[in-house]
Structure 1
């Protein structure tokens, strides 16, 4: 092994290969032939010269042959990858520049000691000096890589800091846009919903909560107004879907109902007539509707329903009960009210109108109605303005099925209107 490695060093030195390339070539040769020499097989080192790609250089080919190898040489993972492989040989090719004014000999000698060699380096040297030169080249390469690594690491840290700062800015901008959108939607929602209503003898309060806080419009809508005879009319709508499309559907229903109610149509006929008017204009519209009329002077209550959850009555004295009127919603088969339910509301009694988002947040409407009854009884003594939002907070403490939620509370005052 030592004579072979000395020959490789002498060859590389003669052709002025860089010290780091020479070191890699020596290590590659050592890796390839160690097993062959230990097995007593012949190893042949050959050199050849080939014409280069241009007139200013030529190619030095260094070939290592092992004619007795039983199988192909394993040349993977070498410090200096080979440029040509065959079953019994490995070849490396190096581009060698010609000295100024020299032409490549036509004979292309392969003996590095030949005086006809284009550019052999015959500077005296020892193997120790060659090894030290290779080590210095390796250390210099390592140091250069270390400096480059530190530079890249510093640049990467600066880049990461800049990206992080940009990410924070984008998050802040995104949050500003979300808040701006929410405010716009909130203003739109406030515009679409009727203003607070003052009716002698009654207290009114409402709470609305969208399924998506960033899209506060939805299909849950209400309308309230007083008829010419002083009766309070309330419409609660839950249109199928979410977002602006369902809001448009709910508005179509409330506006149609208001028009029919002010024209004097009987309460029982309003839902069926609303269906007849809207279906040609919006054939995909589907909505549940609850209509309520309350005379603040007498406490007489009328309810008409189209597939809507029943109203909840919590008397000041007595058990809470659901007031369920039969009927089918707008866009349903056989739409309209089957009957008008009549009830009496006394001073201090609490009436809750709502959409199914309040009772079906856990996907069980029966369990939701029981929880709503218990919550309404606990909260009945509170100021009315607090009751709808407090009901929503208790009922939606666990939400398995997010939906728009509307809760509306009415209470008869104890004094005469």
Structure 2
């Protein structure tokens, strides 16, 4: 004996969309489908049949009910043999399946004591208006529920965003604290690497330095100045290959070696070559250009030695300017050393500019850079000495195509 039972299939033919929708609604009411499920089924059936009905061809609606002790279902078939239904039936408001010339909906039903077709005979048939109102109420309730969910999610998102923003502010504050601490550490390190201001009767000295990047306090550009026992002032300008702390270490080795040799009394013209001999066995990768200047504050006499470094610029008080060219090869270069010494005399008010190539090669054209440096130095020659190096760097770096460590050092003979 089987526990399955079925209500004979019901068929009806329809020639208009309104008639078909009414039939589907009536079927849904008979089988006690919820208002939402009734709406989905009605919209889906009408959408499939739309093309056929507009063409004046009838469609057939068939329904069958099956139930057992464990399951109840309603099968709805729409027969429209000529319908050009190309879209996927799975995208309908109530997904369906295709079989031969029919579109089929399998609708599970809630548990009931007996076939609803029998119980429906005892109930008053609701009017089409009542059904539409019920479906509208369900749609409105569904929209309200979705809006409530949207507001809840928006509120949760706002709270999350507020938390993220607060965290971001905290991270920014912490990052700013770290930047300040890092900057202070770098300034202290830079002060430790560079000699402080030097005051010498008869000379005015000033310096400007800027690294290529902001993540390191210095690079390969370094200077040193000190007064020898005979009263002359020694100045060293070094540009070691590379950037960052590695090149700083190389530049420090050069300046320290030069200072030691100068204080030991080695002739100026031999110091670059002797520095190369001392350092190269310990650092085969070291390459650095070097410029040495020896100045007598009392007479203004200047001696220059050069190892592959950009030439100093001499600007007279009357505005004439010229570069002091001395050939030579830097530390780490073949046959390191200065070919000779350049002898010059600074008149009162004359300005001597020592620099590294980061000042003149920011646009990758050293000749243009030298021309612009002459123009800037002549233009700023009467400013206070301590302001001139920074003013030169500001003028020269209006456009930077090739960032590099930059050093500008000025010496003026007092009037």
TM-score (norm 2): 0.86
Which of these residues, 32, 42, 59, is aligned with residue 48 of structure 2?
Answer: 32
Deviations 1:158-192 (A, max 9, x none): 43344334333333332332232222111111111
Residues matched between the structures, number: 397
Kept in 1, the 8 Å contact 2:61–2:76? The answer is no
Map 1:11-410; keep pairs closer than 5 Å: 11-39=27-55, 40-49=57-66, 57-66=71-80, 68-69=81-82, 71=84, 74-75=87-88, 79-86=92-99, 88-99=101-112, 113=117, 123-124=123-124, 125-317=126-318, 319-410=320-411
CA distance in 1, matches of 2:177, 2:406: 26
How far 1:32 sits from its partner (Å)? 0.6
Matched residues in 2 for 1:327 and 1:78: separation? 83
Would the alpha carbon gap of residues 183 and 87 (structure 1) be closer, same or farther in structure 2, given more than 3 Å must change? Answer: farther
Q: List gaps (5 residues or longer) in structure 1.
A: 106-110
Deviation of 1:112 after TM superposition, in Å, equals 5.7
Answer yes or no: is the 8 Å Cα contact 2:31–2:117 preserved in 1: no
> Contact 2:90/2:96 (CA < 8 Å) preserved in 1?
no
Give the Å deviation of 1:286: 2.1
Unpaired segments ≥5 residues, structure 2? 1-16
Q: Deviations over 1:231-276 (max 9, x none)?
A: 2111111122222122112112111221222222222222222223
Distance 1:89 1:286 in 2: 87
**Among candidates 10, 20, 29, match of residue 4 of structure 1:** 20
CA contact (8 A) 1:352 1:410 kept: yes
> 1:160 and 1:283 mapped to 2: Cα distance?
56
Q: Report the alpha carbon displacement of residue 93 of structure 1 after superposing the two structures with TM.
A: 3.0
Q: Distance in 2 between matches of 1:180 and 1:387?
A: 30
Superposed displacement of residue 309, structure 1? 0.8
Q: Are the equivalent residues in 2 in contact too, given 1:182–1:214 (CA < 8 A)?
A: no
Q: Which moved more, 1:168-177 or 1:74-83?
A: 74-83
**Contact 1:71–1:88 (8 Å) recurs in 2:** no
Residue 57 of structure 1 deviates from its aligned partner by 4.5
Deviations 1:206-246 (A, max 9, x none): 11122233433211110111223222111111122222122
| C-alpha displacement of 1:31 | 0.8
1:56–1:97 CA contact under 8 A, matched in 2: no
Q: Give the TM-score of the pair, scaled to structure 1.
A: 0.86
Distance 1:3 1:91 in 2: 19
